[in-house]
Amino acid sequence: MSDLPRKAVTRTARLAALPLGIAGRATLGLGRRIGGRSAEVVTAELQQATADQLFKVLGELKGGAMKFGQVLSVFEAALPEEVAGPYRAALTKLQDAAPPMPAASVHAALAERLGKDWRSKFLSFDDRPAAAASIGQVHKAVWHDGREVAVKVQYPGAGDALLSDLAQLSRVAWLLGPLIPGLDIKPLISELRERVSEELDYELEAQAQDRHAEEFADDPDITVPRVVSQADQVLITEWLDGIPLAEVIANGTQRERDRAGQLLARFLFAGPSRTGLLHADPHPGNFRLIKDGHAASGWRLGVLDFGTVDRLPEGLPYPIGDSLRMALAGDAAGVLDMLREEGFVKPSIELDPDAVLDYLRPIIEPATVDTFHFTRSWMRSQAARIADPRSPAYNLGKQLNLPPAYLLIHRVTLSTIGVLCQLGAKAPFRAEMLEWLPGFAEVEAPEEAPGEAMEKAPQES
């Protein structure tokens, strides 16, 4: 494969062809049913073909197409099980790999950005990419001082491709929306477009990664590789071994899943408090589970890719923990007042406080018990409840507003929950919130937790 496709007309044509291909398959499926084949068999075949085409295109185009696919991949757990099967394999392919840029193009990029003598900076350089992602690919090398390093090289034309892809994807959002029940696709694409400049700026990424590496340098449970060098669109960091989280999701033991889930939740809550930054790209390709005999549990979590962060100098907003505390205490009026104050409910909207609390209760269920089991079935039930037009939750949700200051926090939280459900993680998440979520620590365990009945119900793993 050649470089990242740079002609906007070519990329746009491939993305624009997606609705036509899916519509054609639907027509073909109707013909097959008329011809006597069962609806179930035909539907399964169409779902598989749709997944193969959609995510093959998203992966091959890299750029904004693949970035969008990676974001979608973490919501796979929300799909109904009869649909999730055909899509799951195609989605997970986007989490840690993409077609690579040729070695000659990599060499040319390194010569341009590091100088013609770029090879002198390394004792060795592997031309085979260790990972190829949405806007750049990573090569393993040995730095001149003997350290193993990851060399991240940005694809030529990545910026234009990102903007072009996301503009085209916004036009076909109606097609993609039904893939993930309860997820509004257009705002998601708009938010990704707003982050393009940050994603492309490797100097900003180096600063964010250095801040995390410094803060977590002596942490027994979380590790972030240090930045070794940065020049224009090349970023060189220490190499990080470990089991990719996508592999833990696919083949990990329950103990590995539980530990990975607990540390992922800890990083979500502790990161902003300790660094003033929120890692905003929590798909499984950016995390590693590292075997460590010195760690209390035998495992640490490695965190990669700080190209997108939310700057939160005071940590996560206090109202998040405070409203969660009030919800657990049954203070419906206090929760509604807080939502109004923060802009989640516009002044012209009148809502019943008890209805708002009923809407939130299932969502806050993980905070009601000492140990919660995140499962695909739990996430599917939440997605179905919010997406069903017959549900009171659907109508109430349509009246809520998402303030700009909370947009990225909301996406990161939902994405992390999606990964926890893919892991099937069972761990003391409430304890992590009590320690790291501002405003929540004052909470006392309710006599009868709002989600107690739901927790007792059997859950799929």
Same domain, 129 and 217: yes
Dist CA 25 CA 45 (whole Å): 10
Distance of CA 364 to the CA centre of its chain: 20
For residue 231, the enclosing domain spans: 103-158+197-238
> Domain boundary at 207, 238, 269, which?
238
Residue 254 within a domain: no
Flag residues of the chain having pLDDT under 70.
1-99, 133-134, 165, 171-185, 188, 293-297, 442-461
Rounded Cα–Cα distance for residues 190 and 166 (Å): 8
Note whether 448 and 341 are same-domain residues: yes
Same domain, 339 and 215: no
Cα separation values, 420 from 193, 283, 440, Å: 26, 11, 21
344, 322, 189, 90: CA torsion to nearest 10: -130
Q: Is residue 29 part of a domain?
A: no
pLDDT in tens, 75-124: 666 666 655 655 555 555 554 445 578 899 999 999 999 999 999 999 99
Domain boundary at 238, 263, 295, which? 238
- Number of domains within the chain: 2
* Closest-CA residue to 208 (of 142, 280, 137): 280
Q: Is residue 275 part of a domain?
A: no
Q: How far is CA 302 from the centre of its chain?
A: 16
Residues 352 and 231 in one domain: no
Predicted confidence at residue 419, as pLDDT, reads 93
- The answer to the question of residue 189 being in a domain is no
Q: Are residues 447 and 323 in the same domain?
A: yes
pLDDT at 90: 58
DSSP annotation of 120 reads G
Task: Tell me the two tokens of residue 115.
Answer: 């100088």
**How far, in Å, CA of 94 to CA of 56, rounded?**
9
Report the candidate in 283, 456, 266, 291 with the shortest Cα–Cα distance to residue 369. 456
Nearest to 132 by CA among 67, 57, 229: 67
Q: What is the structure's pLDDT at 106?
A: 93
Residue 145 placed within a domain: yes
Residue 382 in domain:
yes
Tokens of residue 28, six digits:
């073909």
DSSP string, 250-319: HH--HHHHHHHHHHHHHHHHHHHHHHSEEE----GGGEEEEE-TTSTTSEEEEE---SSEEE-TT-S-HH
Instruction: Classify residue 223 by its DSSP letter.
Output: E
Phi, psi of 245 (to 5 degrees): -60, -30
Q: What is the 3-state secondary structure (H, E, C) of 259-278?
A: HHHHHHHHHHHHHHHHHCEE
* Residue 207 within a domain: yes
Q: Do 233 and 329 belong to one domain?
A: no
Q: Is 175 exposed, middle or buried (0-12, 13-18, 19+ CB in 10 A)?
A: middle
CATH number at residue 151: 3.30.200.20
Q: Which residue from 303, 120, 154 is spatially nearest to 231, judged by alpha carbons?
A: 154
The answer to whether residues 234 and 350 belong to one domain is: no
DSSP code for 406: H
Q: Where does a domain end: 206, 238, 270? A: 238
In a domain, 62, yes or no: no
CA-to-CA dists, residue 240 to 151, 302, 313, angstroms: 12, 7, 28
Report whether 100 contacts 116 (CB < 8 A): no
